[in-house]
Amino acid sequence: MMSIKAIFLDFYGTLVHEDDEIIPLICKDIQESAFEDCQVRDIGAYWWGVFSNMFQNSYGDSFKTQRELGLISLSETISRFRAKCDANEIIQKQFAHWCKPKIYDDTLPFLNDLHGYQVYILSNIDIADVHNAATYHGIQVNDIVTSEDVKSYKPRPELFLEVLSKYNLSAKEVLHIGDSYTSDVGGANNVGIKSVWLNRLNKKKPEGTEPNFICRDLRQVRDIINDFEEGRFVV
């Protein structure tokens, strides 16, 4: 029986809060300066659609950082709604959040309880932003590796494979924990890594690839790790 040696962790939405409260504020700025009547939700949906299309095609020689993708897609959204605001100015709310997000109350206790494990953060957000946020909250792990390092975003395999290779780990020795069903569950499963879907917001489970485990918080994840340690799960 092979044991778990390493814990892979997503960052935003898993250890710290996502920018869900920030996006509507940016969209409100667009609404207030738009030439036509529009709703915040419609602006947000359009921005997300443009961003998602760019995101899916951003890898290798075509790779752009999250900050670049966000700014370009927001500029296009401002143009679509004929607003007079400045993309570079209003997106600073999001950039500031990435550097100083709120932290979940179970994060530091969970990390402090992972003695004996290699712990790695794998994030789609840019290197400097994740490092700044981790430093801000005193989050200490073995390494932080982001999509900017490998010029590829989860759920593509490059980020997972880079950390496996860099630290001489087998996929069977790893448990990946993340809140994104597509990026984290799908990405981990595609390279043979066991996945935990961290469903903090009690979302309906999407169709598609199945996580190995579903947890509502990191306390439940710790219980799963305990089960591995005590041999109740065979890896």
36 Cβ partners below 8 Å, 6+ apart?
81, 82
Mind listing the pLDDT tens digit for each residue in 42-96?
Answer: 999 999 999 999 999 999 999 999 999 999 999 999 999 999 999 999 999 999 9
Q: Give the strand pairing for 174-178 and 194-198.
A: parallel
> Which helix (H) or strand (E) is 198 found in, with range?
strand 194-198
Q: What is the pLDDT of residue 207?
A: 86
Q: What is the pLDDT of residue 196?
A: 98
Domain 6-17+101-229 is of which CATH architecture? 3-Layer(aba) Sandwich (3.40)
Q: What is the pLDDT of residue 208?
A: 83
Q: What is the pLDDT of residue 228?
A: 86
> Which helix (H) or strand (E) is 174 found in, with range?
strand 174-178
| Residues in the chain, pLDDT under 70 | 1-2, 232-235
d(CA 153, CA 155): 6
Q: What is the pLDDT of residue 235?
A: 53
Dihedral over Cα of 25, 129, 123, 120: its sign: negative
Is pTM beyond 0.85? Reply is yes
Q: Which two tokens stand for residue 211?
A: 């996580």
Alpha helix locations (H) across 8-65?
23-33, 40-56
Gyration radius from the chain CA atoms: 19
